[in-house]
């Protein structure tokens, strides 16, 4: 009869994903990227609690050990990094405008490279000091590895948060652009530090050459697949063939880049950008909407699976007071490091920073949501012998940071936006009102903006006049 293990695992993951997604939608009402991991974590706690209550019961028994063993066998890295992320990146790239990239390539490039590197270093040094003070010292090189994994913002988490709020378009472009392009730098830094931990010699020139090879080859692969896909999309096509062509675009570019030891995420993004910015010339608008709707649905399904799996990773964690406190501190230090890294990075480019809207850097720093990529990288090195003594710290801290990142940064981002962009409906009473007033202190200059739309439906930014309760007639230029 054969084995039904695939169908069994798929059915269980679907069941848990449906349960967590529906509970979040109907009860919590949180964005999917935030609510589903929380519900999954709560489900784990409930299962463990019920299993304890039923311990020794001859009629009902929950085998927690078997569940933990099953979760341990989930290869999170293969599922995400070597799997479904190509679909998420392609879906985002198909809708990302090259004109936006041309307008904001400087801030996106700074955030995805220099700021990422500085964030990893600052975070590693600060967490090293904390671990030493608490008497649980961890080598600095190990914490730099953790910082490199946590330094990158996650495209899936970013999309989940941005889809639930009304944000200025220029900020959404920068946050989503950063999340699309920082994977190459993140993985390069992570693998370089890992090789040093495993005993390899560090050579800056070799690292730079390797990174340049990954980026250049990835761009070539992306361009080749993008142009080939456009050729296939020309002429008469059934909707099924159009969707399959975009699926081949995602999987093909990603897979070839992996075999070429290039940056698969960049290859995938470049291919998607080429097709998404040219296909309106060869495909009917209705067909493009149908394809985008398909990919939007696929994104939702993948996100449900991914966020559920993130919550279920709690099964394999050996949580204790030290790990929980350390994880919370790591979260605070990480976002403090992101603020420091962003301000330092843009200090090297005064012309870019001078041309920024008031509040751009605080909002970009606050909006750095971490997600499955960070967890996948850390879980992928759990079996490295040199890291065995620190596995609980690495996995535990990463899980807590990812969870808190979605809750605090995701739910707190609207209040930070309200501090710089006027909102008539911002909360004024209770805890939310107090939190909003606290966030207003970030706006030290007091200058605020208001978002409106022109006759063509394009978003415009005006300087807000609190006395007139309206926007000034002068429109702010399209700035950073």
For CA atoms 22, 27, 32, 34, the dihedral sign is negative
pTM for the whole structure: 0.80
Answer whether residue 248 shows pLDDT above 80. Answer: yes
Name the more confident of 223 and 406: 223
Give residue 189's pLDDT.
Answer: 81
- Rounded Cα distance, 400 and 395, in Å: 9
- Rounded Cα distance, 358 and 476, in Å: 11
- Rounded Cα distance, 292 and 239, in Å: 12
| pLDDT tens, residue by residue, 68-91 | 676 676 776 777 777 788 888 888
Give residue 259's pLDDT.
Answer: 92
Give residue 276's pLDDT.
Answer: 86
For residues 20-42, give the mean pLDDT.
Answer: 76
* 471 DSSP β-pair partners: 464
| pLDDT tens, residue by residue, 173-204 | 888 888 777 776 787 788 788 888 877 666 77
Give residue 33's pLDDT.
Answer: 66
Q: What are the distances in angstroms from CA 32 to CA 10, 164, 186, 468?
A: 20, 9, 25, 38
Among all chains, which residue has been given the structure tokens 């230029």? 477
Give residue 8's pLDDT.
Answer: 67
Kindly list the structural domains of the chain, giving each domain's residue range(s) and its CATH number in brackets, ordered by start.
4-72 (no CATH), 76-294+315-413 (1.20.1530.20)
**Which of 190-194, 289-293, 313-317, 389-393 is predicted with the least confidence, judged by mean pLDDT?**
313-317
- Residue count of the chain: 480
Answer whether residue 269 shows pLDDT above 60. Answer: yes
Give residue 165's pLDDT.
Answer: 65
Q: How confident is the model at residue 255 (pLDDT cuts 50, 70, 90)?
A: very high
Give residue 277's pLDDT.
Answer: 86
Give residue 231's pLDDT.
Answer: 87
| pLDDT tens, residue by residue, 97-136 | 887 778 888 888 888 888 888 999 999 999 999 999 988 8
Answer whether residue 241 shows pLDDT above 70. Answer: yes
Answer whether residue 221 shows pLDDT above 90. Answer: yes
Name the more confident of 29 and 401: 401
Give residue 127's pLDDT.
Answer: 93
| pLDDT tens, residue by residue, 310-338 | 666 666 677 788 888 998 999 999 989 99
Give residue 56's pLDDT.
Answer: 60
Give residue 223's pLDDT.
Answer: 93
Give residue 330's pLDDT.
Answer: 92
Give residue 167's pLDDT.
Answer: 73
Answer whether residue 1 shows pLDDT above 60. Answer: no
Name the more confident of 420 and 306: 420
Give residue 159's pLDDT.
Answer: 62
User: What does the DSSP 8-state code read for residue 39?
Assistant: H
Query: Rounded to an integer, what is the distance from CA 361 to the centroid of its chain?
Result: 18
User: Cβ–Cβ contacts within 10 Å for residue 98, how many?
Assistant: 14
Are 209 and 129 a contacting pair, CB within 8 Å? no
Give residue 123's pLDDT.
Answer: 93
Give residue 163's pLDDT.
Answer: 63
Give residue 321's pLDDT.
Answer: 85
Give residue 94's pLDDT.
Answer: 86
Query: Rounded to an integer, what is the distance from CA 322 to the centroid of its chain?
Result: 26
pLDDT, the chain, mean: 80
């Amino acid at each position: 009869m054969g084995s039904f293990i695939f169908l069994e695992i798929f059915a269980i993951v679907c069941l848990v994903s449906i349960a967590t997604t529906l509970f979040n939608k109907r009860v919590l009402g949180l964005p999917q990227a935030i609510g589903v991991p929380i519900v999954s974590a709560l489900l784990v706690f409930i299962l463990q609690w019920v299993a304890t209550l039923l311990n020794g019961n001859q009629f009902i028994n929950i085998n927690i050990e078997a569940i933990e063993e099953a979760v341990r066998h989930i290869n999170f890295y293969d599922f995400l990094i070597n799997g479904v992320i190509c679909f998420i990146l392609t879906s985002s790239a198909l809708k990302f405008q090259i004109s936006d990239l041309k307008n904001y390539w400087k801030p996106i490039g700074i955030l995805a490279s220099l700021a990422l590197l500085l964030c990893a270093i600052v975070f590693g040094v600060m967490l090293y000091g904390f671990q030493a003070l608490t008497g649980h010292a961890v080598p600095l090189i190990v914490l730099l590895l953790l910082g490199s994994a946590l330094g990158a913002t996650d495209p899936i988490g970013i999309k989940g948060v941005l889809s639930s709020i009304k944000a200025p378009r220029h900020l959404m472009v920068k946050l989503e652009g950063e999340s699309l392009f920082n994977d190459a730098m993140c993985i390069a830094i992570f693998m370089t530090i890992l090789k040093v931990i495993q005993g390899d010699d560090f050579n800056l020139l070799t690292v730079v050459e390797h990174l340049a090879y990954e980026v250049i080859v990835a761009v070539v692969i992306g361009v080749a697949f993008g142009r080939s896909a456009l050729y296939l999309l020309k002429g008469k096509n059934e909707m099924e063939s159009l969707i399959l062509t975009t699926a081949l675009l995602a999987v093909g570019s990603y897979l070839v880049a992996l075999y070429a030891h290039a940056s698969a995420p960049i290859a995938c993004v470049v291919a998607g950008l080429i097709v998404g910015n040219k296909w309106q010339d060869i495909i009917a608008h209705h067909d493009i909407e149908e394809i985008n709707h398909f990919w939007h649905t696929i994104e939702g399904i993948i996100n449900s699976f991914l966020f559920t799996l993130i919550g279920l990773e709690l099964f394999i964690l050996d949580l204790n007071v030290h790990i929980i406190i350390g994880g919370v501190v790591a979260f605070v230090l990480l976002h403090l490091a992101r603020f420091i890294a962003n301000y330092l990075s843009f200090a090297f480019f005064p012309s870019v920073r001078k041309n920024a809207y008031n509040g751009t850097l605080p909002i970009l720093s606050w909006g750095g949501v971490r997600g499955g990529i960070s967890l996948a990288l850390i879980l992928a090195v759990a079996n490295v012998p040199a890291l065995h003594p620190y596995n609980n710290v690495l996995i535990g801290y990463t899980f807590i940071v990812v969870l808190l990142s979605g809750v605090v940064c995701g739910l707190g981002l609207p209040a930070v936006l309200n501090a710089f962009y006027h909102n008539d409906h911002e909360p004024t009473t209770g805890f939310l009102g107090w939190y909003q007033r606290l966030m207003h202190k970030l706006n030290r200059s007091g200058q605020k903006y208001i978002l409106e739309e022109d006759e063509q439906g394009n978003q415009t930014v005006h300087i807000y006049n609190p006395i007139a309760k309206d926007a000034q007639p002068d429109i702010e230029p399209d700035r950073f």
